[in-house]
Amino acid sequence: MRLQTNLIMSLLATFVLCACQNSRVEQETVSVPEKAGTIVNVEQEKVSESVVSRPSTLEEIAKATGAHWINEYKGIYMNSRRRDRVGYNVESFDMQMLASLPESELSRIKNFSVRGTELIGWDEFDLSLLKNLEELDIDYTNVTHIRGLDETAVWRVSLGDVPLRGISTISGLKKAEEIWIRSTEAIDRLPDLSKLTEMYRLSIQANPLKSLDGIESLQRPVGLVLGMVNDISALEDVNPEDLAIVMFPEYQEEQPEIVEKIKEMGFEIYEDVD
């Protein structure tokens, strides 16, 4: 009797052990897909959050970057200067964020103004995306060239204290009325200006402007603002009545011989813009 009892107990223990092992295997088998599924869901959630968080309007870009979008003027403004005001304290701005906006948003921009803010990705940005752009105002930042500006509606361009290495892009600005360029780099010569039939004021200041060659291609009288310039011989082919030359006093003091030659050609030199 005792032997039978021991045998039964042994069989029961074996059965319980097998049942526990089977249960553990089933739990592990079930938990693997569950864990794998959880990982996939986390990645999907991350992707979803990334898509949702990307700005899709100018208002959202302004909120994300600190820039100031003024709907009344259809303009986006940013300044690196430290001030407790909207649009200030913007150290950098990613142009790719702007390029990723739908056309319906980009077409709202008529004014783009930057002062001191680093424009990340500017070299790859094509201004033709801003087809309704009317005023471009960029100062004290990393602009070395301009792309696609001739495919916009721009009438006023101001590029101040930027390392601009060439200005050939202004040749195609048929609607431009005012162009102000002050480059911290040397500029070899002026581009063809014959298509700028709406322009009344052209300011070219460089470090230095090596030659005024190209000025003879102007098709209408303009006010010409000059800084440091090496060669003014191209003025010999221009009627003095077609150019009102402005040169600020500090530039006149630095190059008295150039000033004298300009006057000898029959041009008046004004010290300030009216």
Of the chain, the percentage scoring pLDDT greater than 70 comes to 80
Give Rg (Cα) of the chain. 34
- Kindly tell me if the per-residue pLDDT of 18 is higher than 80: no
**What's the pLDDT tens digit per position in 229-247?**
999 999 999 999 999 999 9
Q: Which residue has the higher pLDDT, 127 or 8?
A: 127
Model pLDDT, residue 273: 82
The better pLDDT of the pair 98, 11 is held by 98
pLDDT at 250: 96
Number of other residues whose CB lies within 10 A of the CB of residue 174: 13
Residue 165: what pLDDT? Answer: 82
Q: Where does 56-270 sit in CATH, by number?
A: 3.80.10.10
Annotate 71-101 with DSSP letters as a single string.
GGGTEEEEE-S--SSTT-S--EEEHHHHHTS
Q: Smallest Cα–Cα separation from 238: which of 208, 204, 274, 213?
A: 213
Q: Which of 144, 148, 142 is nearest to 170 (CA)?
A: 148
Q: Does the structure show a pLDDT above 60 at 104?
A: yes
Which stretch of 68-77, 101-110, 162-171 has the lowest confidence by average pLDDT? 162-171
